[in-house]
Structure 1
Amino acid sequence: MTTQRLARDWRVPGAIVLLALLCAAALALHTHRGAFLQWCLAAQITLHRYLVMYLLQLNNHQYSGGLWLLTGAFFYGVLHAIGPGHGKFIVATYLSTNKESQTAARVIPFVGSLMQGVSAILFVFILAVGFNLASGSLSESRWYVEKISAVLIGGFGAYLAWHAAKSIKPRKLTIRTLSARHQHGAACGCGHHGVGRESQGDWKTRLGVILAIGARPCSGAIMILLFSNALGIVTWGIAAVMTMAFGTALSIVGLSLAVRYARNRTATFFAGEAQFGWLVPVLKMAGGIALMLFALVLFLTVIPVSANGDYIAAGC
């Protein structure tokens, strides 16, 4: 009894300290957000130029450039995952508000990241190779694809919010009905007390996360594919894009495992507190609303159309 009381005593101060640290980190990131985004953009343009240089070496039959191309593409994917992006936001929002197994926390972001590479390949092959569109038309098509993908992400967020809102009222009624007949205990296993005891995500939601990530192809991957297609070495461009997607996938998997661990620790932190049972669907609804707002930001900040081609506008 004394041990449980001591555990309860340090929960609130510990939560306050953790919240204060998170607020300080968010304030620091917000203060230096402009400089950070400028650095990310400059680093991406520099990496674009290096990757284009390796493609030009391959075009001149310097096959050592192929090794450097794949190596540079992998590190581009890793660094791309560190900067701001929709995949990280979707994965972090979903895993922080939904209970998932460790396997799902690995597979979902991994497959979603690889789908980004596949989406970029399909985009270039269908439009550039199949329809033989000019650079300006490809840039306009990319603009429409990114707009549509933002709408899909917003639709997925709306689905999560609606699903969570629908589960709030039945959950409360179930608790009241069972409480009259059944006395809850620590080992009763009924699942109606404590945070984090809700069922794991279904396959439809998991598929929605994967599609929300993969539906928006990486602009850097599209640029490399367009340039490699212009040089006539599309195979190397595809290899570079999938290596890039693999590097992004590894980074996002690490992030997803960290988010899942933090969520489970938080659930354990508040375990046994029946009054927090309502918090689970509310957090899920908040996550869905956050995705909708993020999708709105993506929709309004799509890279403008470039008449000369995206890869030229990106400094390639």
Structure 2
Amino acid sequence: MTTQRITRDWRLPAAAVLLAALMMAAFTLHAHWTDFLQWCLATQITLHRYLVMYLLQLNNHQYSGGVWLLIGAFFYGVLHAIGPGHGKFIVTTWLSTNHESQTAARVIPVLGSLMQGVSAILFVYILAIGFNLAAGDLSESRWYVEKLSAMMIGSFGAYIIFSALKTLKVSKFTHRSLSPPHQHDAHCGCGHHGVGISTQGDWKTRLGVILAVGARPCSGAIMILLFANALGIVSWGVAAVMTMALGTALSIFGLSLAVRYARNSTAAWFGGETSSPGGWVTVLKIAGGVALILFAVVLFLTVIPVSANGDYIAAGC
């Protein structure tokens, strides 16, 4: 019995064991999901209070508070990426359903995470500083921005489904054409040996990932900027928010590499990817788009309500 035969025979049992392990992990996470969310919220509130304390130290000319502010903001960003969030879901869905290059898997999630910080800065600069809105008005504006960002995520999911269906339609038309059959080999140069290998993703999808991740500003970043603006040290608030975004970006960066490696390993394990119209990659893309739409609906329906006293009250600060 050859090594290839042994490897092929063990694929299905190993996949069954892996699936069982994943289901057990998912069941365990589901059983403790409420406790996990409470822990995330409690940790977030604690870190918020520390960051506010460092801002107050800076306001009292204790510049060591600035160093601790940046350190705390960085670790806040790292821990923020560990908890449940839309960025991780979008990046995981995108990379698990698209054949992307290693460069794209590294750069796109980082740009999306950094854009979150830029979105928070623009939100506060335009509304709080430019239009001088009150706390309640800012909370209402944040509510609308999060609703719109949820709609953007849903639109991105719909675009993925549309692209997959369009690819499926084009593939069927190509296979039904009356042209002589083309014999593929290693030197034909047509580039159709596996789904996504010839395209390696497209700029529209990548831009959609960046916008879907980055258009929804972090509420913690907004809160820090509002406190910094109230104290008259906006530059420190901007530095803290971008440091926070950097911490999130590094965490999402590691996640994206892990997801890409898992996807490619799974595809290679089961004999590579197929470009047939009914290939499993097309099905995965459609399923990923549906998952993004459902996730967007959940986000749309669970946006933090408007607070007349400002969002920092809801944040526990």
Query: What amino acid is aligned across from residue 300 of structure 1 in structure 2?
Result: L
Is residue 267–residue 273 contact of structure 2 (8 Å, CA) maintained in 1? no
Query: What amino acid is aligned across from residue 130 of structure 1 in structure 2?
Result: G
Q: 1:203 maps to which residue?
A: 203
Q: 1:192 to 1:7 in 2, by over 3 A?
A: farther
Distance in 1 between residues matched to 2:273 and 2:65, nearest whole Å: 59
Is residue 110–residue 250 contact of structure 1 (8 Å, CA) maintained in 2? yes
SS, match of residue 282 in structure 1: helix
Q: 1:151 maps to which residue?
A: 151
Q: 1:96 maps to which residue?
A: 96
Is residue 96–residue 260 contact of structure 1 (8 Å, CA) maintained in 2? yes
User: 19-28 or 174-183: which moved more?
Assistant: 174-183
C-alpha displacement at 1:313, in angstroms? 2.6
Query: What amino acid is aligned across from residue 235 of structure 2 in structure 1?
Result: T
What is the total number of aligned residue pairs between the two structures? 316
Q: 1:293 maps to which residue?
A: 294
Is residue 157–residue 288 contact of structure 1 (8 Å, CA) maintained in 2? yes
Q: Deviations over 1:189-240 (max 9, x none)?
A: 7665666646311111111100111100001000110111111111111000
Query: What amino acid is aligned across from residue 314 of structure 2 in structure 1?
Result: A
1:129 aligns with 2:129: yes
Distance in 1 between residues matched to 2:235 and 2:155, nearest whole Å: 35
Q: 1:34 to 1:186 in 2, by over 3 A?
A: farther
Distance in 2 between residues matched to 1:312 and 1:260, nearest whole Å: 39
C-alpha displacement at 1:172, in angstroms? 3.9
Paired residues for 1:69-88 under 5 Å: 69-88=69-88
Q: 2:105 maps to which residue?
A: 105
Q: 2:312 maps to which residue?
A: 311
Query: What amino acid is aligned across from residue 59 of structure 2 in structure 1?
Result: N
TM-score by length of 2: 0.93
Q: Deviations over 1:135-157 (max 9, x none)?
A: 01100110000000100110011
Distance in 1 between residues matched to 2:273 and 2:44, nearest whole Å: 47
Q: 1:226 maps to which residue?
A: 226
Distance in 1 between residues matched to 2:244 and 2:316, nearest whole Å: 19
SS, match of residue 181 in structure 1: coil
Structure 1 segments unaligned to the other structure (5+ residues)? none
User: 304-313 or 26-35: which moved more?
Assistant: 304-313
Q: 1:218 to 1:285 in 2, by over 3 A?
A: same
Paired residues for 1:1-316 under 5 Å: 2-175=2-175, 181-183=181-183, 197=197, 199-271=199-271, 278-316=279-317
Structure 2 segments unaligned to the other structure (5+ residues)? none
Distance in 2 between residues matched to 1:74 and 1:208, nearest whole Å: 26
SS, match of residue 307 in structure 2: coil
Query: What amino acid is aligned across from residue 59 of structure 1 in structure 2?
Result: N
C-alpha displacement at 1:185, in angstroms? 6.1
C-alpha displacement at 1:4, in angstroms? 2.5
Distance in 1 between residues matched to 2:275 and 2:126, nearest whole Å: 54
Q: 1:236 to 1:281 in 2, by over 3 A?
A: same
C-alpha displacement at 1:21, in angstroms? 1.0
Is residue 110–residue 253 contact of structure 1 (8 Å, CA) maintained in 2? yes
Distance in 2 between residues matched to 1:228 and 1:18, nearest whole Å: 48
C-alpha displacement at 1:188, in angstroms? 6.5
SS, match of residue 57 in structure 1: helix
Coordinate RMSD, CA, aligned: 2.1
Is residue 196–residue 280 contact of structure 1 (8 Å, CA) maintained in 2? no
TM-score by length of 1: 0.94
User: 231-240 or 172-181: which moved more?
Assistant: 172-181
SS, match of residue 251 in structure 2: helix
Q: Deviations over 1:134-182 (max 9, x none)?
A: 0011001100000001001100110011110111132244356699734
Distance in 1 between residues matched to 2:190 and 2:177, nearest whole Å: 13
Distance in 2 between residues matched to 1:196 and 1:15, nearest whole Å: 24
Query: What amino acid is aligned across from residue 25 of structure 1 in structure 2?
Result: A
Q: 1:239 to 1:221 in 2, by over 3 A?
A: same
Is residue 100–residue 196 contact of structure 2 (8 Å, CA) maintained in 1? no
SS, match of residue 307 in structure 1: coil
Q: 1:187 to 1:287 in 2, by over 3 A?
A: farther
Q: Deviations over 1:34-81 (max 9, x none)?
A: 000010000000000000000011111111100000000000000000
Query: What amino acid is aligned across from residue 29 of structure 1 in structure 2?
Result: L
